[in-house]
Amino acid sequence: MDSLILFSIILFWLFLLTSFINLYKYKTQHRVLKNHLNEAVYTRLGYQSKKKENAVSKTIKILGRYAEDFSHIGERINFMSESQDVEILLKKAGNPYTVTVSQFQGFKIVFAILGVIISLFYIVLGMPLANISIILFPLFGFGIPIIYIRSQAKKRQQQLRRDLPDFLDTVSISLQAGAGLDGAIKETIFHFEGPLHEEFLRLMHEIELGVPRERAYEDLLVRNDNPDFQSFIKSLIQGIKLGVPVANTFKVQAEEIRKVSIEQVKEKAAKASPKVTLITSLLIAPLVMMMILGLLLLNMLYGESNLLQFF
């Protein structure tokens, strides 16, 4: 009987050890398979594994719960932030932090309330200009979401234009090699990051889901107001309708955008010279003259043969 109990205990620990080993192997293979799917499948389809939330995104997520409660107030106080304009701005900015229009309207009030709270701390601590902060901080908090979304939209459109010539050249080479338009775009977008990747990936997904091609291109134009990008999409639509070789369209558009970029750089350089001259004339030159006069004055007062010797 004792030997049977001992044998049972040994079998129990043996099976337990075997189960832990198999569990470890399962976890290892599961992690390897998951990484393989993320790299080989999701990346090819344009989906990305969820990134860890940073402090800003977590804060926005927490404040978003309260923003929904104040959205109706924000919609009434729509100074420079009407719902239609906000919806367009969110599309142009790439919908950062997946903020909806109602949440955006509520964020204005939430940040204004935070401005009031911070200004009260200023008053209690007796900070300089504390009495003015009770007015300035809420106004500044109200304007933070508006300023941020406008700057993000402008930055995104500039990045879209900056990456467009290289994208067009790559697609043009694929088309000249015999690839179809959709296939060339699909293969090219995975070599780019940022708004260009997101916009054309969404375009391809909409076409695959059955959205008419012209409608998908029109939505792409609505989401982006960069003149060069819109010119390219319109010429692409026109080329498809008229049967013009699309490869030539891509190549010509890339060359035109580069020419315009070079001209803009030259124009900025030409405008910079008068600004530098103006700053030099109004700031640097008077400061240098004041330093020279100051040195002369100090030498006259405290030098070896100064004026004080005569008194």
Q: Indicate the residue among 107, 137, 155 that finishes a domain.
A: 155
- Same domain? 128 vs 170: no
Is pLDDT of 46 > 50?
no
Range of the domain at 130: 55-155
Would residue 224 count as lying in a domain?
A: yes
Q: What is the rounded radius of gyration, in angstroms, for the C-alpha atoms of the chain?
A: 32
> Are the C-beta atoms of residues 123 and 62 closer than 8 Å to each other?
no
Say whether both 193 and 241 belong to one domain.
yes
Place of tokens 């008053």: 123
**8 A C-beta contact, residue 180 and residue 189:** no
Could you please report the per-residue DSSP string of 22-79?
HHHHHHHHHHHHHHHIIIIIIHHHT--PPPPP-HHHHHHHHHHHHHHHTHHHHHHS-T
pTM over 0.85: no
The answer on 150 and 166 residing in a single domain is no
Residue-level pLDDT at 308: 57
Tokens coding 270:
């030409």
Average pLDDT over residues 194-209: 88
Is 188 within 8 Å of 170 (Cβ atoms)?
yes
Q: Determine the Cα–Cα distance for residues 210 and 208; give it in Å rounded to an integer.
A: 5
Q: Does a structural domain hold residue 115?
A: yes
Number of domains in the chain: 2
In a domain, 213, yes or no: yes
101 with 59, same domain?
yes
pLDDT reported for residue 50: 47
pLDDT tier at 36, thresholds 50, 70, 90 = low
Banded pLDDT at 296 (limits 50, 70, 90): confident
